Amino acid sequence: MDWHANLRTVAALTRRAANELLRVPGAAIPGVLAPTIFFLGLFAVFGNLTLLPGFTSSSYQSFLIPISLLQGAGFTGAATGVNLARDIEEGWFDRLLLSPAPRPVLLAGLVLSASLRSLIPAAVLLTVGFALGVHWPGLDGLVIALLIVMGMGTIAACWGATIALRFRSQSGAPLMQAGMLLLILTTTSYAPLALLTGWLQTVARYNPVTQIVEAARQGFVGSVTWGDTWPGLLALAGLLALLSALALRGMRRTAI
Amino acid sequence: MATNLRVIAALGARSVKQTFRRPQLMAPIVVFPTLLLAIQVGGAGRGVDLPGFPPVDGFLDFILAGAMIQSTLLAGNSGGIALAVDIEMGFTDRLLAAPISRFAIVLGRLAGTAALGALAAIWFIAIGLVFGARIDEGVPGALMMIVFVVLSAIAFGGLGAAVALRTGRASVVQGLFPLVFVILFLSSAFFPANLMLEPAATVARYNPLSFIVEGIREPVISSLSLEAFAKALASIALVGVISIGLSAMALRRRLRTGG
């Protein structure tokens, strides 16, 4: 297949995922509702943590919003994995594998749709957040945050696809969601690194997603700098390379 | 009576086995609350330094009850999903055709949810103790916590069962999952109500779930007062009467209309 045909395949698979949203509008609700409820709930419950000496922001909602954006992307990506598992169970995926489309192209179609879909919860969360007084991050801060959201959606979709291809059943869904939740929350999600306690402080220091969170947090808290941006983009690229390699390995090992 | 008890025991055992066999049902009861407990202790643990935080040995002591009640609520929701799946697959219809009490079918499911609540309570007490929590009231306090969690599981399980019986659709019961977190965040499950932001703080002060959580928490952080005990028990009774009543109404409606 030439690259033209490959692009058309990717576009068709992305369109198919978008069709699901148009035909089953409720399909996007869990990915939007869960991070929004978590954002509102955590803000209401832990909002006074900003009173602790050493907290880097006086606005907990601004501190929290990047986490919720990444959670939204994580849930959306995991949902892509669940959809793939459903396609495997129903035999639709086997038919795709019989087509002359290369495996990486099939994966690209899946993850591209997740990347675009992750902008839906982001739009809702930002609307809710700004209504609740989240600081305007500036155009540069917003663009960086949205790029990171799309990247995280892609990473989550790769993870979801890896699990779906391994278990070939929707019963792997909790692992898809728990994996992303663990990756995102074991960072500076609730408080700055200096205020975390015990094991979480150590894990957050070495978890590459902490760099991604800090990059997405720029503008919402503090100003946007290249020094805070590149480590996040590097961590994003590294995770993307690792998880897409795992997903591709799963695709290549899938026999019909 | 003896037959009904045997039916309840058999259906309860089936419900527990079903949950252990399906990771989708097990994960919300144990995996997610344990993950959140570990992360919240590390992430918001310094909250105990805020002025107005009740005296505790550590944040784990405070939030342990929150994790238990979260697990209980999710066990109720998972029980509702499993019941709805039984309805969708026709298993409940076969039970309804059998010469057994109709309400024993619902009570069997609730017995399973209660057993899962007990297992969750033991799990959280165990990991709490392993990671340094101290139950001030000792063994009687731990037993009291388990009893409160089991009763709460029956009360909240009734809500899941009511929705399952009314709609007969697992997707609808599954849709209640986010609501569980709304109720939790609007209670003192994770943080003292006096340190939460308004309007959530006011809602948390009057939310029956806060009274239940405080009843479970009291034996850990201090001695259980009669007031906290009575408020917790009354709140569980209130939720229980409403949920079992709704389940009975939904069951009657299902029997009358056939769906």
Phi and psi for B4 in degrees, rounded to 5? -60, -40
pLDDT one-digit tens code per residue, B60-86: 999 999 999 999 988 888 888 888 888
In total, chain B counts a number of residues equal to 259
pLDDT at A250: 85
**Three-state secondary structure call for residue B58:** coil
Do A200 and B28 lie within an 8 Å CB cutoff? no
Do B178 and A48 lie within an 8 Å CB cutoff? no
Put simply, the chain B residues between 110 and 169 with a CB less than 8 A from any chain A CB are none
pLDDT one-digit tens code per residue, A225-240: 898 899 999 999 999 9
pLDDT one-digit tens code per residue, A178-217: 788 889 999 999 999 999 988 899 999 999 999 999 999 9
Total domains, chain B: 1
pLDDT at A1: 59
Nearest to A44 among B23, B47, B196 (CB): B196
Do B197 and A43 lie within an 8 Å CB cutoff? yes
Q: Is B202 on the interface with A (CB under 8 A)?
A: no
Do A41 and B182 lie within an 8 Å CB cutoff? yes
Amino acid found at B69: I
Residues of chain B with pLDDT below 50 are none
pLDDT at A242: 94
Chain A: nearest CA to B195, how far in angstroms? 7
Residues in chain A closer than 8 A to B195 (CB atoms): 48
d(CA B146, CA A142): 48
Residues in chain B closer than 8 A to A33 (CB atoms): 178
The token pair at A109 is: 């179609």
Which residue out of A24, A36, A48 would a mutagenesis test of the B interface target, given it has the greatest number of B Cβ atoms within 10 Å?
A48
pLDDT at A234: 94
Indicate the domain borders of chain A: 3-253
Residues of chain A with pLDDT below 70 are 1, 21, 24-30, 255-256
Q: What is the DSSP string of A210-234?
A: HHHHHHHHBTTBS---HHHHHHHHH
pLDDT at B238: 94
Domain range for B164 is: 2-257
Instruction: Report which of B16, B164, B147, B156 is spatially closest to residue B73, judged by C-alpha positions.
Output: B156
Chain B: nearest CA to A3, how far in angstroms? 40
pLDDT at A60: 93
